[in-house]
């Protein structure tokens, strides 16, 4: 397993990943049902992971009956990664270790990480040399490109209602040409 020391979280990095400002800012959040649809998980999974601290909402947590959690873009990205790891057979215990590592990363670092696993252990890979080293042991591994999950989420997240924790209005994002064509094709 690749071991590293603590990594300092870098704030405000989404601007570099999304120069057109298509990713929401840190106050824009998505309620549970939208987060579930975007990440491809059930509400029961979302609720359990929030209650056990695996992936808790960073914008607003639930406080009593009727309150709504708000999940950030990064939260939804981590939810999607957890779902993919579960789908490939990684234990929830090992996923917790991987998520703890991802939490210490800034968003810029997340886009460069690929996670690998032999079904038991989760490895981080940030360069081709590390991939070679992992495969020399003879274990079959799979990879999850976190940047691919980010692109998937970024492509669909704007279709869901968002709200700001400070109560301000969330400005709608202008559709790009591809999104407009997809909507037109699906509608007609």
Beta carbons within 10 angstroms of residue 161's beta carbon = 9
> Does the structure show a pLDDT above 60 at 21?
no
pLDDT bracket for residue 171 (50, 70, 90): confident
Residue 101 CB-half CA count within 13 A: 21
Q: Cα separation of 73 and 162, whole Å? A: 11
Q: Cα separation of 147 and 78, whole Å? A: 11
The answer, as to whether pTM is greater than 0.85, is no
3-state DSSP assignment of residue 143: strand
Residue with tokens 């003879």: 138
Res 34: pLDDT? 95
When mean pLDDT is compared across 36-45, 59-68, 131-140, the lowest value belongs to: 131-140
Choose which CATH entry (3.40.50.1820, 3.40.50.300, 1.10.1660.10, 1.20.1440.230) describes domain 24-164: 1.10.1660.10
Res 136: pLDDT? 41
Res 8: pLDDT? 39
Residues 6+ apart with CB under 8 A from 33: 43
17 φ/ψ angles, rounded to the nearest 5 degrees:
-75, -35
Chain-wide mean pLDDT for the chain? 75
In SS3 terms, 52-113 reads as: HCCCCCCCECCCCCCCCCEECHHHHHHHHHHHHHHHCCCCHHHHHHHHHHHHCCCHHHHHCC
pLDDT tens track for 79-123: 998 999 898 888 888 888 877 777 666 555 666 777 777 777 777
Element (H, E) at 115: strand 114-117
Q: Cα separation of 179 and 188, whole Å? A: 14
Beta carbons within 10 angstroms of residue 164's beta carbon = 17
């Amino acid at each position: 397993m690749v071991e590293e020391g603590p990594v300092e979280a870098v704030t405000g990095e989404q601007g570099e990943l999304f120069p057109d400002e298509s990713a929401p800012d840190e106050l824009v959040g998505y309620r549970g049902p939208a987060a579930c649809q975007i990440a491809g998980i059930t509400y029961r999974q979302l609720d359990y992971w929030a209650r056990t601290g695996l992936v808790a909402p960073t914008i607003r947590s639930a406080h009593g009956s009727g309150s709504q959690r708000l999940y950030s873009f990064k939260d939804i990205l981590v939810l999607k990664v957890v779902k993919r790891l579960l789908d490939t057979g990684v234990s929830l215990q090992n996923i917790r270790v991987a998520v703890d590592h991802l939490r210490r990363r800034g968003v810029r670092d997340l886009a460069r990480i690929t996670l690998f696993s032999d079904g038991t252990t989760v490895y981080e890979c940030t360069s081709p040399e590390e991939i070679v080293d992992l495969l020399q042991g003879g274990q079959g591994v799979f990879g999850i490109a976190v940047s691919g999950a980010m692109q998937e989420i970024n492509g669909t997240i704007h279709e869901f209602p968002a709200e700001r924790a400070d109560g301000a209005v969330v400005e709608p994002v202008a559709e790009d040409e591809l999104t407009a064509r997809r909507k037109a094709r699906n509608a007609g």
